Amino acid sequence: KLGDSKMIDTMIKDGLWDAFNGYHMGNTAENVARQFQITRETQDEFALASQNKAEAAQKAGRFKDEIVAFTIKGKKGDTIVDQDEYIRHGATIDAMTKLRPAFDKDGTVTAANASGINDGAAGALLMTEAEAARRGLTPLARIASWATAGGAVIDAGRVRG
């Protein structure tokens, strides 16, 4: 074809980009950190505690009944995904403090204290009760109702507790 073309990273465009404000979703965490004066040190300490809890839970088998293994076929062989990929075993505060800010050169959010790009990744198989019966499956849940809600994307990094 004649003419130039533009390569678009669909991981960023479709999953990690705030289409309303025109920046990476990681910047929302920077916005919240500035607004509420959350220091880099506080973020790193919280992230380390979270990683350590996740590592302990994974080693204790607490997630084994929550994850269904699947195989990814590739040119170099199959890859089996059977555990959370984001958990950083052996995370240390020393390693975290050496990382540069990921979204703003003067920021506080890094690869170690931000959500991973697979954060919230999940899948579910939905079908009618009749279809489950036809397939000989026992339903694990029933959807009684549903709703959607949201706030300003600019401070999506905020978690109310």
Asked whether residue 3 is assigned to any structural domain, the reply reads: no
Asked whether residue 73 is assigned to any structural domain, the reply reads: yes
Asked whether residue 92 is assigned to any structural domain, the reply reads: yes
Asked whether residue 2 is assigned to any structural domain, the reply reads: no
For the record, the structure tokens of 37 come out as 């004066």
Dist. CA 29–CA 38, nearest whole Å? 10
The strand ranges marked E within the chain are 17-18, 23-24, 70-72, 79-81
Asked whether residue 96 is assigned to any structural domain, the reply reads: yes
Asked whether residue 130 is assigned to any structural domain, the reply reads: no
Quote the number of domains for the chain: 1
| Tens-place pLDDT, residues 125-147 | 899 999 999 999 999 899 999 99
Number of Cβ within 10 Å of residue 154's Cβ equals: 16
Asked whether residue 109 is assigned to any structural domain, the reply reads: yes
The answer to whether residues 32 and 151 touch, using CB atoms and an 8 Å cutoff, is no
User: How are beta strands 79-81 and 70-72 bridged, if at all?
Assistant: antiparallel
| Tens-place pLDDT, residues 111-124 | 999 988 876 667 78
| Tens-place pLDDT, residues 13-59 | 877 888 778 888 888 889 999 999 999 999 999 999 999 999 999 99
Range of the domain at 42: 10-119
Asked whether residue 159 is assigned to any structural domain, the reply reads: no
How does residue 99 score in pLDDT terms, banded at 50, 70 and 90? very high
| Residue 51 pLDDT | 96
